[in-house]
Amino acid sequence: MSNVNVRNKKAWHHYEIEDKFVAGIELWGTEIKSLREGKASLNDSFCYFFNNELFVKMHIAEYTYGTYNNHEAKRDRKLLLSRRELDKLEEKKDQKGYTIVPLNLFINDRGLAKLEIALARGKKTFDKREDLKTKDTKREMDRMMKR
């Protein structure tokens, strides 16, 4: 079993994460094979609601050994969540400043592709600067402790 773990590092910088959910992904044909090769990217990916269902727009590269049956690299993929979780997300998303961002794409123990998504609120520029300052001071403190 391959150890696939694709992260969205920018999400932690641009958003305050409030609530996390783990969702299954509806994949077609060669998508899971390409995913197992680690050829996926969560950069510029986003989640949205359509007809009371949650979809994610993300990039999974075409499978190297695929034929004419190969999948589209950037398409909408349905996320599989319970109705209660979907209702909670849709209710919160409609509030000002909230969005749903993908954080982590992985394959679980049973071999199923899962996507960790988060209900998040966008950070202001000064919040981002403050986070960078605290990160730098923490790094400096760790360096000083090692000496």
pTM for the full predicted model = 0.78
pLDDT digit string, tens, across residues 75-128: 888 999 999 999 998 888 888 888 899 999 999 889 899 999 999 888 777 777
Q: Give me the residue spans of the domains in the chain.
A: 5-146
Closest CA to 26 of 51, 3, 58: 58
Task: State how far the Cα of 89 lies from the Cα of 53, in Å rounded to an integer.
Answer: 11
CATH architecture of 5-146: Beta Barrel (2.40)
Contact 66, 32 (CB under 8 A): no
Element (H, E) at 145: helix 125-146
